[in-house]
Amino acid sequence: MLRTETEAGSRRPPETPRSTSTDLALIASFAALIAVLGIVPPIAVGLPVPITLQTMGVMLAGLILGPRRGALAVVVLLALVAVGLPLLSGGRGGLGVFAGPSAGYLVGFVLGAYVTGWVREHLETRLPFPLAAFTAAVVGGIGAVYLVGIPVLVWRTGADPVAGLVFLPGDLIKAVLATLVAVGVRRALPDR
Amino acid sequence: MMGGTPRTVGRMPVGTRLALMVVAEMLLVLGVRSLPAAALATGLVTGAYLIARIPLAHAWRTLRGVVFIAALVATLQLVVLPWERALLIAVVMILAVAIAALVTLTTSTTDLLDALERALQPMRPLGVDPERVALTIALTARTIPVIAGFGSRLRDSGRARGGRVGVVPYAVGLVVLTLQHAERVGEALRARGVDD
């Protein structure tokens, strides 16, 4: 078991400091995927911040592309948002979102994708894949995102840090979904 | 993107606009600590919107999200804070977004992309290749409709089989199609010598 995991890992092209054209295409495609997961709202509630699968997209970027390419996919998405495209959940975009109370979560997405990928890489030889993926999604996609998001939220709104935890139940569901999706993708594309 | 927006902030270079934005944000966050100061800042930002001739409807569409959140936060804060503090927090929150959004409302996506590429030039020694970054960003913008197309195809085929696609099968299908698409694009890029 351990052995096959390692072999599966080594079949993946090693991450080089300079992105190859495959990396470039993966980064661009995943950035687009995260955008689509935020635009198409499967769960619409009547709030200005709708519940979408965008956070799950951030977790998946780390789980599937690995730390470096996953984080870069998020950076590219944020660059497009910064130049004015309305690609964040609920059709938000422009420089304004980087000055808003939830700006920290956007920066946290970059760190979150990186940590998710890093934790998965370090756990998957030691734990069954679903457990490694779920742990990675929780530590990176929730822990690392909140680590940046909540202090900024508190600074900008004067709110109690506990207020930042209102998204926790939803985010835990998304970590479960991201794990199930990563398992499904692995089953569909075993050589990836 | 913002089709009918007048871009009439003189012909101030984008870099200057962004620098002014940063200074204004810093003054706001560090300097506005009382209601009179907040009133002055609101006057200045409103004046800037008037000079830029931003239609009220555009301004509202951009700011309604933060106005809603600021109102919600202020209402909750009233329980623990004096109303002056709660109002100040809400006003500063809205103005911070309004200042940054003014740049977006008055500057085209193309101009901002050019500014981004120029800003990355000094990072070349750190291994950042501005042309590759620009290529990746442009490629992403063109890939979004492709991936969105995959999404509607998955939903349609689910409906054709007489049901709704669950979130997990939908996302698995979307990721698999995305990875396969990326592979084809990667090959096309390599064929065009992007790696050289």
For B50, other C-beta atoms within 10 Å of its C-beta total: 9
**What is the rounded CA–CA span in Å between residue A133 and residue A119?**
8
Give the pLDDT mean for A85-111. Answer: 93
The reply to whether residue A32 touches residue B168, judged by beta carbons under 8 angstroms, is: no
pLDDT tens string B153-194: 998 888 888 777 788 999 999 999 999 999 999 999 999 888
Distance CA B190, CA A126 (A): 36
A179 close to A130: Cβ distance less than 8 angstroms? yes
Q: What φ, ψ does residue B129 adopt, rounded to 5°?
A: -105, 105
CB contact under 8 A, A82 and B112: yes
pLDDT tens string A3-26 = 333 444 444 455 444 558 999 999
| B50 and B34 share one domain | yes
Which domain covers residue A96, as residue numbers? 20-186
Q: Which of B98, B122, B146 is the last residue of a domain?
A: B122
**pLDDT tens-place string over residues B6-36:** 445 557 899 999 999 999 999 999 999 999 9
Q: Say if B7 falls within a structural domain.
A: no
Based on the domain organization, do B58 and B100 belong to the same domain? yes
Most A CBs within 10 Å, among B30, B62, B84, B136, to test the A interface: B136
Beta-bridge mates of residue A51: A43
The domain in which residue B80 lies consists of 14-122
Does A75 map to a domain?
yes
B65: which chain A residues are within 8 Å (Cβ-Cβ)? 48-49, 90, 92, 100
Number of neighbouring beta carbons within 10 Å of residue A163: 14
Task: Give the model confidence (pLDDT) of A152-166 as tens digits.
Answer: 999 999 888 888 888
Distance of CA B30 to the CA centre of its chain: 23
Q: CB distance A177–B98 less than 8 Å?
A: no
- Name the H helices within chain A: 2-11, 21-39, 54-65, 67-82, 103-123, 129-136, 145-157, 168-188
Residue A13 belongs to a domain: no
| In chain A, residues 161-190 whose CB comes closer than 8 Å to chain B | 177, 180-181, 184-185, 188-189
The answer to whether position B146 is within a domain reads yes
Q: Which of A58, A157, A192 is most worth mutating to test chain B (most B CB atoms within 10 A of its CB)?
A: A157
Q: What is the mean pLDDT of residues A74-84?
A: 96
The answer on B177 and B83 residing in a single domain is no
Tell me, what CATH number does A91's domain have?
1.10.1760.20
How does DSSP assign B156-167, residue by residue? Answer: HHHHHTTSPPPH
Residues B70 and B95 in one domain: yes
Same structural domain, B66 and B95: yes
Q: What is the pLDDT of residues A47-60, one digit of tens each?
A: 555 567 899 999 99
Residue type present at position B76 = L
- One-letter amino acid of A69: R
B190 and A21 in contact by Cβ < 8 A? yes
- Residue B164 has what pLDDT? 76
Do both B165 and B73 map to the same domain? no
Q: Are both B177 and B103 inside the same structural domain?
A: no
B76-94, pLDDT tens digit by residue? Answer: 889 888 999 999 999 999 9
Our count of domains for chain B comes to 2
Do residue A96 and residue B132 have CB atoms under 8 angstroms apart?
no
Number of domains in chain A: 1
Rounded distance between C-alpha atoms, residue A46 and residue B100, angstroms: 26
- Whether B20 and B115 map to the same domain: the answer is yes
Do B118 and B35 have their domain in common? Answer: yes
Torsion of CA B94, B100, B106, B107, to 10 degrees: -150
Q: Are residues B60 and B117 in the same domain?
A: yes
Determine which of A12, A19, A27, A33 to mutate to test the interface with B (most B C-beta atoms within 10 Å): A33
